[in-house]
Structure 1
Amino acid sequence: MDSGTHLVIGFGLAGLAYIDPIVASNPAVATAVLVGTVVGSQAPDFDTLLRFKSNASYIKNHRGLSHSLPAVVIWTGLITLALMLVFQGLPVGHIALWVFVAVAFHVFTDLFNTYGTQALRPFSHKWVSWNIIHIFDPVIFLSHIVAIFTWSVHLARPQIIFPLLYAFLAVYYVWRSWHHYRLESRLYQQDPQYADGDRYFLIPTFNLQAWQIVKRRSDGHFILGEYRNRRIQWVDEVACAVHPAVEASKLHKNVAAFLYFSSFACAELRSHEWGYEVRWADVRYRHRKQYPFVAVVLLDQELQPIDSYVGWVSETRLGKKLRANT
């Protein structure tokens, strides 16, 4: 989820904590839990600081180790220890429980997005992304805003508001998961161009009634489309280049980081007088007829790297980030 949604979830979990009699009866404990759930709901994304090292490091590691099973325990321990130093004499077990809920809930909700996490580490380094909930879901965000506002103006007790909120969201997640599975499993029946070996992936959008479709053909090429009103509309086809320059680009650290993260990468090759431009794009992220999440490597005629870029960028800005005149 985006940072704003994680933030309101942190406040929401602080309200839910009032079902714990120790929290509800002690203002100091409630304050410590509020700080703990807000910080805990953000903690796994502290690896965003890797941007200061390099885009490649950020792309390869964001939502990786920081969202792993050991990290959930480590974040809980560090935040709880810090709270015990500030709020002395409080019941450590109750504080640690709600911090743990906040951290674990962050990782859990991120599994439903397209970006995914490596939540199964150290048992598996696989990126887990269920493609069910958009990174910003208006239902999740606005329902938290309404609940927090109701709590803040004392229209109802938190012991009533927030159990109802999270019961509603549990139903919402189950419904979205079922709805996604039902639609995705039937796409091949609605596609007259379906061939054996084709695979379909349904990607959520901000619009709850609209989805993006990624069709991976048996030859490795991709077809992109939209699913709306029970109809498929194909909008683009991306052929993946095969060339020695493409293979050479995989040795570059920026492309290696990109391919480590994305299983939907497709290479485009452009030849120039000075060499080659190999542009890898993640086809899941299509915006205004462009694919802004890319890894680009410029190679000379001997396939030696000249320059490179990895990250989110528009077509007009990309040229400014690369030295060669492309």
Structure 2
Amino acid sequence: MDTGTHLVIGLGLAGLAYIDPVVAADPMVSTAVLIGTVAGSQAPDADTLLRLKGNAAYIKNHRGLSHSLPALVLWTALISGILWLVFPALPMWHITMWVFIAVAFHVFTDLFNAYGTQALRPISERWVSWNIIHIFDPVIFSSHVLAIFIWSVHLMRPEILFPILYAFLALYYIWRSWTHYRLESGLRPRDPTYEPGDRYTLIPTVHLHQWQIVKRKQDGSFQLGELRNRKINWIDRVSCAVHPAVEASKAHPNIACFLYFSSYACAELKEHAWGYEVRWADVRYRHRKQYPFVAVLLLDKKLNPIDSYVGWVSDSRLEKKLRMGGA
């Protein structure tokens, strides 16, 4: 989820904590829990600081170790330890429990969008992305904002309000999961262009009844489309280049980071007077007829690297970031 949604979830979990009699009975304990759930709901995304080391390090590691099984314990221990220093006389087991719930809930909600996490590390380095909830979901965000407002103006007690909120959201997640399964499994019989070997991935958008479709063809190419009102509309076809320059690019650290993260990467090759431009794009992220999530490598005629870029960028800005003249 996005940072704003994680923030309101942290506040919502602080309200839910009032079902714990120990929290509800002491304003100091509820204050500590509030600080802990807000911090816990943000902590796994502290790896955003990896941007300081460059986009490649960020892309390879964001939602990696920071969202892993050991990280759930480490973030909980760190936040609870700091709270213990600030509030030494409070019942720390209760506070620690709610901090852990906030950290775990952050990782759990991130599993539902297309970006995914490496939540199974160290058991597996596989990226887990269930493609069910958009990174910003208006239902989740607005329902939290409404509940927090009701709580703030004392229209309903939090121990009643927030169990209702999270019961509703549990049903919402179940409904979205069932809808995704039903629609994705129905793509093959509904697609008149289906060919043996085609594999479909249904990706959520910010609109509840609109989905993106990525169809991986048996020849390695991709077909991109939309699903609206249960009708498929194919909008693009992307063929992946095969060339020695493409193979050579895979050894470059920036390209390797990109390919480590994305299993939906497709290479485009452009030949110039000075050499080659290899552009890897993640076809899941199509925006205004472009694929802005890219890893680009410039190579000379002998396939030696000249310059590279990895990250989010438009076509108009890419040339400014790279030495397209081959200097």
Same fold (TM > 0.5): yes
Which residue of 2 is the match for residue 282 of structure 1?
A: 282
Superposed CA RMSD in Å reads 0.6
Amino acid aligned to 1:197: G
Residues 104-153 of structure 1: CA deviation (Å, up to 9, x unaligned): 00000000000000000000000000000000000000000000000000
Which residue of 1 is the match for residue 61 of structure 2?
A: 61
Distance in 1 between the 2:229 and 2:66 partners?
39
**Shift of the alpha carbon at 1:279?**
0.1
**Shift of the alpha carbon at 1:195?**
1.1
Distance in 2 between the 1:107 and 1:320 partners?
36
Is this contact kept in 2: 1:319–1:325, CA < 8 A?
no
Distance in 2 between the 1:169 and 1:224 partners?
30
Distance in 1 between the 2:315 and 2:323 partners?
15
Distance in 2 between the 1:113 and 1:49 partners?
22
Which residue of 1 is the match for residue 321 of structure 2?
A: 321
Amino acid aligned to 1:308: S
Q: Give ranges in structure 1 of 5+ residues lacking alignment.
A: none
SS in 2 for 1:277: strand
Amino acid aligned to 2:56: A
Is this contact kept in 1: 2:274–2:325, CA < 8 A?
no
SS in 1 for 2:144: helix
Distance in 2 between the 1:160 and 1:244 partners?
63
Distance in 2 between the 1:288 and 1:194 partners?
26
Which residue of 2 is the match for residue 47 of structure 1?
A: 47
SS in 1 for 2:175: helix
Which residue of 2 is the match for residue 187 of structure 1?
A: 187
Which residue of 2 is the match for residue 96 of structure 1?
A: 96
How does the TM-score come out when normalised to structure 2? 0.99
Distance in 2 between the 1:108 and 1:148 partners?
21
Distance in 2 between the 1:258 and 1:247 partners?
14
Aligned pairs (5 A) from 1:1-326: 1-325=1-325
Identity of aligned residues (%): 75
**Shift of the alpha carbon at 1:325?**
2.7
How does the TM-score come out when normalised to structure 1? 0.99
**Shift of the alpha carbon at 1:286?**
0.2
Is this contact kept in 2: 1:184–1:200, CA < 8 A?
yes
Distance in 1 between the 2:183 and 2:302 partners?
48
Is this contact kept in 2: 1:211–1:226, CA < 8 A?
yes
**Shift of the alpha carbon at 1:323?**
1.2
Distance in 1 between the 2:314 and 2:37 partners?
36
Structure 1 segments, 4+ long, off by >3 Å, are none
Is this contact kept in 1: 2:113–2:134, CA < 8 A?
yes
Distance in 2 between the 1:58 and 1:229 partners?
37
Is this contact kept in 2: 1:60–1:257, CA < 8 A?
yes
Distance in 2 between the 1:74 and 1:230 partners?
44
Amino acid aligned to 1:80: S
